[in-house]
Amino acid sequence: MELELINVPEPFATLTVTFFERQTQATLTVPVTRMVNQHVVRVAFNPMDLQFEQGGRRDFSWELYLNVAQSTMHGVIQIESEALSDRWQTSQTSSCQLRCDAAGMAILNSHTHQSATEVQVTAINLVDDQLQVVGTRQVNPEPLVQQRLVLKDKSDQHVIVGPVVQDTRQGLVTLSLPLAELPLDTPQVLYIRTTVGEETVERRVVLARSLAGQTTELVTHQHRLVMLDKRFDNALLVTASVAPSLPQRVVNAVGQLRQVVKWVAQLADKVNLTYLSRLFRHGHTPYERPTLIFESFGGRQVSDSPYAIYRLFTRLYPEFNCVWSINRSQRHFCRQHDIPYVIRRTTRWVRLLGKASFWISNARFPLWIKKPDYLTYIQTWHGTPLKKLGLDIEKVTMPGTTTARYHANFVKEANRWDALISPNDYSTQVFRTAFGFNNQILKVGYPRNDALVNSTPAEITALKRKLGIPLDKRVVLYAPTYRDNQFAEKGKYTFDLPFSLAEFQQRFGKDTVLILRMHYLIANTLDIRGYEGVVFDFSRHPNISELYLVSDLLITDYSSVFFDYAYLKRPILFYPYDYQVYKDELRGFYLNYETELPGEIAHDESQLLSLISQKLATPDMSHDARFMAFYRRFCAIDDGQSSWKVVAYILQQIENHG
């Protein structure tokens, strides 16, 4: 590793570099081994020294410090970095990667216990009737030789092995495989066969990043349409089909015409937004009668903490004017429940927002919406954070934005909030730093969780009947998050189940049912045909608290749902099948995922199914010391009165403003 010395005091007698591990506070100090020139030095270290066994830890984050020793003084300087290295393998199951944190300081991430059956690549493209993969050229210290690409169908019966073709440039290696022999309409999983030393290994290819920017479709000279796709576990699929005929191209042209219509609609929407933003700039005078506007997840639902506040507020004070801001898809729900509403992005919506006394939302309003000075904006947010938020996200991979723009917009929006609801001290601290938030924080707990504290067994039985869930069966709830690196288009993400429904049905179907609750950003609908009565897809059910109440076990990955579910003191399982990819390539976590969670971690499908059996046998976690330590830290505000505390705050604001 080379270091450029900038503003380092000279002369110095000795220079050393100290590696400091953030979580364990372990240190390793190595000498500077060579002066390249007056301002550049070189440091040699063994990456394997940055990995050790401690409490089952798999990952380590090392800060770097330069130790300067002079004749009369000693100094320590933290090393800055703008570099982002590619991941390099230190063994078949461990790797390192140099990056920088949000403050621009160098971080060396060291990973252990990686799957020996997978290999990450840098890029993949379909070019010139070939599949081309770019990846690493060595596993330290052995060079990789005789590498070749291998395609297998799901049964491993049909195998295509590419020739040994390696183009080594810029520290990377490019592998190629001709596409002429691809079978039709049979998805093929991609592997790399490699010789390391005297051993030949075959590992499944995974791509951490999205496929955006890479060539994923190609019509070959044999008139075949070849397509690349990513599976739920980041494995790569290659599928060939007969290229469209003339009639099919006509059908496709109709589809393209629909796309043109969609583009025209999007253009009209932009024109409408320009018009609406001008209406906001004109300014409004507030209604004499206090008016409260509620919104949940950008109008996609009538749910969550805003809904809990609304229900209590309108029951106690029905003479105030309360209106929901919704998308058109929610009109039926509002009419069915006699809820006053306004459709977003209409002139009436602008008028109501501009003349209201309060905005109460669990997500962000667009920045082009002007917030009046006389209005109080209450932000309920939507979960205790596990994943990094706002300014703490070092690399934003979401489509349609950049890291700098995302950070700036987040801070600008957050400081329009007059009050932000927090469920615990941990969240309060995160919100202050991640949002750059300087206004009032109401540490009263999430109103949506009142139902978890106050519900009775009779009410839970009634909920099961309403949802159509058998009363004599145990209920497993699967509620994963979306992945920032699996977006289909701006604002939409794809997801595939990472375990077999058939296997679940075979092992548990007699006395257990499975509820699926996908994140609201997931674009695709899951296919559960053939599993009726055993698997229920409640992804569009607006009130996830009801799903918590009817379930006996929660399975999740990186979603913050487990913080709320812990209020029930029921078992929780974690299934992070793509842990290494998600942790480093996407957002990262605030908690130590391996040591601070209130449940066990399953790393593969077999382990998951075994743990489901164990946890269903222990429905009450109140005697589990580890679980209860988590409960005391994150669920201490459990009096079931959070909604009332927010209502009392609103009433106080109304009285103060006369």
pLDDT tens digits along 447-505: 999 999 999 999 999 999 999 999 999 999 999 886 654 544 444 444 567 888 899 99
For 631, residues 6+ apart whose C-beta sits below 8 A from its C-beta are 566, 567, 569, 598
pLDDT for the residue 488: 44
Superfamily of domain 280-449+643-656: CDP-glycerol glycerophosphotransferase, N-terminal domain (3.40.50.11820)
CATH topology of domain 451-634: Rossmann fold (3.40.50)
Which is nearest to 237 in space by CA: 314, 151, 128? Answer: 151
pLDDT tens digits along 53-64: 766 677 888 999
Q: What is the per-residue DSSP string for 96-156?
A: EEEEE-TTSBEEEEEE-S--TTEEE-SEEEEETTEEEEEEESEETTEEEEEEEEEEE-TTS
* 146, burial (CB in 10 Å: exposed 0-12, middle 13-18, buried 19+): exposed
pLDDT for the residue 639: 87
Q: What is the per-residue DSSP string for 313-326?
A: HHHH-TTSEEEEEE
* Coil, strand or helix at 476: strand
- How does DSSP classify residue 653? H
**Helix H or strand E encompassing 17:** strand 14-21
Tell me how far apart the alpha carbons of residues 142 and 91 are, in angstroms, rounded to a whole number: 9
- How does DSSP classify residue 298? G
pLDDT for the residue 524: 47
Fold equal for 280-449+643-656 and 451-634: yes
The structural domains of the chain, with segments of one domain joined by +, span: 2-111, 118-242, 280-449+643-656, 451-634
Low-confidence ranges of the chain (pLDDT < 50): 485, 487-494, 523-524
Out of 3.30.70, 1.10.10, 2.60.40, 1.10.260, select the CATH number for domain 118-242. Answer: 2.60.40
**Phi, psi (rounded to 5 degrees) for 391:** -65, -20
pLDDT for the residue 376: 96
pLDDT for the residue 164: 65
Rg (alpha carbons) of the chain, rounded to whole number: 28
* Coil, strand or helix at 568: helix
124 touches 130 (CB < 8 A): no
178 touches 162 (CB < 8 A): yes
First to last CA, the chain: 65
How far apart, in Å, are the Cα atoms of 343 and each of 279, 298, 300, 366, 626?
Answer: 16, 11, 11, 15, 46
For 35, residues 6+ apart whose C-beta sits below 8 A from its C-beta are 41, 42
Tell me how far apart the alpha carbons of residues 543 and 171 are, in angstroms, rounded to a whole number: 51
